[in-house]
Structure formats: structure tokens, C-alpha cells
Amino acid sequence: MANNKSLVIADAIHVLSRITKHKLTGHNYFESCKKIRIYLQSISKDNHLTNDPPLDYTCWEWLRDDARLFLQIQNYINIEVIYLINHCDYVKELMDYLEFLYSGKGNISRIFEICKGFYRAEIYKELNVLLLFSLDIKIQQVQWEQMTVMSFLAGLNSQFDVAKSQILSSIELSSLHEVFTWIIHMDINSFAPPSTHNSNSLVSRTHEFNFEKLSHKHHN
């Protein structure tokens, strides 16, 4: 009886303990993910990274182990990231979604900030006021174009602050192509000649958002 009691206490401590003292964030994803995988491998539980719940008599034992591992990994994740993974139920689902968020496709910190803002309730409320939902496909396309343009402008570096300010205050531009053309025009006609780095940055961001728009259309 005493032995069983000590096992229960040991299990509880095991669940509440952290894998390391540094919590997982968008910025340290690769290092943190590696530690999680090594830890699971060290206790012979790395199959929870790849396997779905079994359908045979071992199901309950597997679900119990997965729940313990899930709680332990969750205890290792920064609170701001926790808000993004509340829909996950299993270790595999959790790790796959973290990979989707922070796998290095582009600027990791930028993706992290966008996700944080997107999941904040006040952002939802403000967007609902500014961009009322409509069943009209044409209106939806206009709203998506506006969101794409705003995201593009928000991601430009401080060199283009003057251009962004003029665009937002006095000009109504309906497409990403128009915004890009206008910024290039202003850069060329400014006192300082445009640098190759700035031009490449603009082209890169334009290609990025054109790809996102194309993906969005195919998805719909």
C-alpha cells in the first residue's frame, strides 16, 4: 500500500515538472522542440509524436500516458503560446501544430506576433466592426485585398515610413500591385536613390503576399 502511494506521488511530481527551466516560445522553437523529442525518446514514449490513439484494448493505457505527457509538455510552453494550442488534445496534435506555427517558413518571430494578435478577442471585435462579414463574394474579395495590403505595409521596414504614411492618409489603393508600384515610384523620386536591398525586400514581400492570395483563392 505504501509503495502504491509513493508511486502516485511520484507520478504527480513527474507530470508537474518541466523538461527544462526555459519555456518554449516562438523564438526558441527549434531548440525546445529538440529537447522535447529527446526527452520522449529517453523514456521510450517518442511513439506519441507519430502515432494516433490505438483502437484496441491498449487504448486506455495509451490515452493515460499521452495525457500525462501532454500536461508535462504544456507546462514547458510559454503562456502566450498556450493560447494558440488550446484546441489540441494529444501530444502528436500539439507537436504538429507547433511545427506548423514555428517550423521556420519565413520570419518565425513575425509569424508568432501575427498569431498572438489574431487570437486576441479584442482584435476579433475590432475587425468585425471595420470589416463586417458579408455573403457577397465580391465584398469578401475586396476585404481580403484590404487585409493583404495592410499586412504588406505593416511588414515594411522603417525606410518606407513616409511612403506608408502618405498611402494610408491620402490615397485609396485597391490592390497589392498598386501599392507596390506606388512605393517604388516614391522611392525612385526621393532624394536618396533606392538601394538594392530595399528593392529586393519589396519584391520578396510582394511575391510572398501574392502566393498567400493565390493559396487563399484555391482554398476557397
**pLDDT score for 165:** 76
Hey, what amino acid is at 174?
A: S
Nearest-angstrom CA–CA distance, 181 and 137: 26
Residue with cell 501532454: 70
- When pLDDT is cut at 50, 70 and 90, the band that residue 92 belongs to is very high
* pTM exceeds 0.85 for this model: no
Measured N-to-C along each axis, helices 137-155 and 196-219 cross at an angle, to the nearest 10 degrees, of 150
Question: Is-contact 149 176, C-beta < 8 A?
Answer: yes
The single residue listed with the C-alpha cell 500539439 is 94
pLDDT tens column, 178-208: 777 777 776 655 544 444 444 445 445 444 5
Query: Does 27 have pLDDT greater than 90?
Result: no
**Helical H runs in the chain?**
2-16, 29-42, 59-74, 79-82, 91-102, 108-118, 121-130, 137-155, 161-170, 176-188, 196-219
- Position 151: which residue type? S
CB–CB of 175/144 below 8 Å? no
* CA-based max dimension of the chain: 84
